[in-house]
Amino acid sequence: MTDGILTIAGRNEAGYGICIDSADSWIVAVNNAGPDSDPANAAFFGAHPNTDETFVLVSGAACIATAPHGEPEYFTVIPMERGVCYNVRRNTWHTVLMAAGAKVVICENRNPEGERHDLSAEAKARLTKEAGNLLKR
Give residue 23's region: left, alpha or beta (phi > 0; psi -120 to 50). Answer: left
Q: Give residue 104's Cα distance to chain centre.
A: 7
- Residue 85, pLDDT score: 98
Which residue type sits at 79?
P
DSSP 8-state symbol, 37? G
Instruction: Give the C-alpha separation, 27 to 43, whole Å.
Output: 25
- Residue 111, pLDDT score: 82
- Residue 18, pLDDT score: 87
- Going from the N-terminus, what domains does the chain have, and what CATH number goes with each? 15-135 (2.60.120.10)
Q: What is the pLDDT along the chain (137 residues), one digit of tens a residue?
A: 666 788 889 999 998 988 888 877 899 999 999 999 999 999 999 999 999 999 999 999 999 999 999 999 999 999 999 999 999 999 999 999 999 999 999 999 888 889 999 999 999 999 999 999 999 85
**H or E stretch covering 127:** helix 121-135
Q: Give residue 5's Cα distance to chain centre.
A: 29
